[in-house]
Structure 1
Amino acid sequence: MAEVYETAPRRRRRGRGLLIVVVILLLILLGGAFVADRWGKSFAEGVIADKVTEQVRAQKASSDTPEVTIEGFPFVTQVLDGLYKEIRIQLPNFSGPTGTGDDIHLNLLDIHAKDVKAPLDALRSGQGDVVAGSLTANGKIDYPQLVDLIGQKGVTLSAKDGKLVGSAKVTALGQQLDLSGTAKLTVVNGGIQVRFADVKAANLPDVPLFQGFIDSYAQKLALDLPAPKLPLQLKVKTVTPEADGLNVTFGADDVNLNAGGL
């Protein structure tokens, strides 16, 4: 009877040992697959970052190194499908020329590429088409920069009730005037148009000459800002005043992320 009770524990120990070995092997395989997945993702992000850098330079613009993130997990299933739901491209400290001698600076140009078709060979070799079905992007022009572009000293810009508000202290005929007014923002031919149409003075004397001065001053605040040269065929879509600047949205469709210059 003693021998019977000795053999059962040995079998259970051998069974447990085999199970542990299988689990360890599975963990190694899964770990290896995870590492391979992350390496492939990082490699593809690097390829796209290099191509975007080429496009920035082709536009005679500049930025810090692009930060590319391919969203979604696992990466390998997207590779096999050749379709990526979203790729995020961030361009820190972006500056683009407008063609008028002025550069537009954006602390961050944040781009989202949706429905990206990318064959494996294109990502592996850096050649071929990597086409985004749509691109959307955001950037912000801060108010001090906008004041410099308007070119009138003493102007302060801010946002109120979703509108761009300007104020200034100016002197006319020996009288200091506290001026304020709201601006109309319009996207025209891919650029931003700023027009102050209702500038008023809180302490305006009842003299027609002062009103003529104010109207003339409002015209000096007008600004036609051409769009900066942007990579990836991005165009200005909307402009919205926010607390710290003008939030500009950009967009484009059917863009080749893998092109050296567009």
Structure 2
Amino acid sequence: MAEAYPAYEERPRRRGRKVLVTLVVLLLLLVGLLVVADRVAAGVAERAIADQVKQEVAKQDAQSAPPKVDVGGFPFLTQVLDGRYERISIVLTDVRGSVEGNAVSVPRLDVDARNVRASLDTLRSGSGDVVAEKVDGTGTVTYDSLAALLDRPGLKLGEQNGKLAVTAPVDILGQKLTVTGTADVTVAKGNKVALRFNDLTAEGLPAVPLARTLLSNYAKGISIDVPLPELPFQLNVRKVEPRPEGLVVTADAANVPINSAR
């Protein structure tokens, strides 16, 4: 007669597998809850920082749409405990400032703050310092805003083959002509953009020295250092580049607060 021991051994094995499956499911649920809690906490911090960034923009006498903030790095909660965050990305849209009474429009300003120091109490209360070890910013100045600063009726700016192009009506020796050409664009001291129009032409320009002199004087008149509106986060302009969407400005700063002291 065969022994029945194997049947009795099977039941403990089945119970062991069920316990293991249950533990795995509980572990997955716990991990899921921790991830959700981590993201919820990150969302709270992002809203708190966005509120402080809004105040920082207002300090510069500028306006913008509500800032969008993204706290990078995972997990977030360990960064909270450490009081240091790998990266905080800030997007400002529809930024409007003024220079010498003229409105300057920046459709988008992207700010990337690295190694940000902020205590838990600062994030919770909104008071205290949020300091970034390094901040990089990229913004776009519209050509209409830039043209307004040159203060020449009918002058239009744009991009042509990677260079700043100009078109403008002029009156030379009684003739109404259209001036076209390009400019060299560089960064000048004091967060200014240096425009140098060295190669202007005008179809139908009279072939006399005086006409060429008048055209040259016009080029000198619009070859100026254009001041930019004060940028938030103490950003300093490092590079300017004409693109189809506008004049793209690259700036950076180090060890600066990204919130407004209260």
TM-score (norm 1): 0.88
CA–CA distance in structure 1, aligned partners of residues 127 and 155 of structure 2: 50
Q: What SS is found at the alignment partner of 1:148?
A: helix
Q: What SS is found at the alignment partner of 1:232?
A: helix
* Alignment match, 2:64: 63
* Alignment match, 1:163: 163
Q: Tell me which amino acid in the other structure corresponds to 1:227.
A: L
* Alignment match, 2:93: 92
CA–CA distance in structure 2, aligned partners of residues 137 and 59 of structure 1: 16
* Alignment match, 2:17: 16
- Gaps of at least 5 residues in structure 1 are none
Give 1:29-48 correspondences, 5 Å limit.
29-48=30-49
CA–CA distance in structure 2, aligned partners of residues 190 and 206 of structure 1: 40
Q: Tell me which amino acid in the other structure corresponds to 2:94.
A: N
- Tell me, yes or no, if the aligned pair for 2:49 and 2:69 is still in contact at 8 Å: yes
* Alignment match, 1:75: 76
- Tell me, yes or no, if the aligned pair for 2:116 and 2:131 is still in contact at 8 Å: yes
Give the Å deviation of 1:113: 0.6
CA–CA distance in structure 2, aligned partners of residues 207 and 258 of structure 1: 60
Give the Å deviation of 1:133: 0.8
Q: What SS is found at the alignment partner of 2:234?
A: coil
* Alignment match, 1:153: 153
Point out 4+ residue stretches in structure 1 off by more than 6 angstroms: none
Whether 1:251 aligns to 2:252 is yes
CA–CA distance in structure 2, aligned partners of residues 131 and 245 of structure 1: 30
CA–CA distance in structure 2, aligned partners of residues 88 and 139 of structure 1: 14
- Tell me, yes or no, if the aligned pair for 2:104 and 2:146 is still in contact at 8 Å: no
- Tell me, yes or no, if the aligned pair for 1:232 and 1:256 is still in contact at 8 Å: yes
- Tell me, yes or no, if the aligned pair for 2:48 and 2:123 is still in contact at 8 Å: yes
CA–CA distance in structure 2, aligned partners of residues 256 and 158 of structure 1: 35
CA–CA distance in structure 1, aligned partners of residues 77 and 102 of structure 2: 44
TM-score (norm 2): 0.88
Q: CA RMSD in A?
A: 2.2
Relative distance call for 1:204 and 1:43 in structure 2 (3 A) is same
Give the Å deviation of 1:24: 1.6
Give the Å deviation of 1:174: 4.5
Give the Å deviation of 1:28: 1.8
Aligned residues: 260
CA offsets per residue over residues 136-164 of structure 1, 9 Å max, x none? 10111122332233232333323345432
* Alignment match, 1:228: 229
- Gaps of at least 5 residues in structure 2 are none
* Alignment match, 2:142: 142
Give the Å deviation of 1:117: 1.9
Whether 1:121 aligns to 2:124 is no
Greater Cα offset, 114-123 or 134-143: 114-123
* Alignment match, 1:183: 183
Q: What SS is found at the alignment partner of 2:207?
A: coil
Q: Tell me which amino acid in the other structure corresponds to 2:216.
A: D
Q: Tell me which amino acid in the other structure corresponds to 2:51.
A: D
Give the Å deviation of 1:192: 2.3
CA offsets per residue over residues 234-254 of structure 1, 9 Å max, x none? 232322112221111122211
CA–CA distance in structure 2, aligned partners of residues 47 and 175 of structure 1: 60
Q: What SS is found at the alignment partner of 2:233?
A: coil
- Tell me, yes or no, if the aligned pair for 1:133 and 1:255 is still in contact at 8 Å: yes
Q: What SS is found at the alignment partner of 2:228?
A: coil
CA–CA distance in structure 2, aligned partners of residues 224 and 187 of structure 1: 7
CA–CA distance in structure 2, aligned partners of residues 237 and 96 of structure 1: 20
CA–CA distance in structure 1, aligned partners of residues 98 and 239 of structure 2: 19
* Alignment match, 1:110: 110
Relative distance call for 1:90 and 1:221 in structure 2 (3 A) is same
Q: Tell me which amino acid in the other structure corresponds to 2:220.
A: Q
Greater Cα offset, 207-216 or 83-92: 207-216
Give the Å deviation of 1:26: 0.5
- Tell me, yes or no, if the aligned pair for 2:129 and 2:261 is still in contact at 8 Å: no
Give 1:186-225 correspondences, 5 Å limit.
186-225=187-226
CA–CA distance in structure 2, aligned partners of residues 129 and 171 of structure 1: 56
CA–CA distance in structure 2, aligned partners of residues 213 and 197 of structure 1: 14
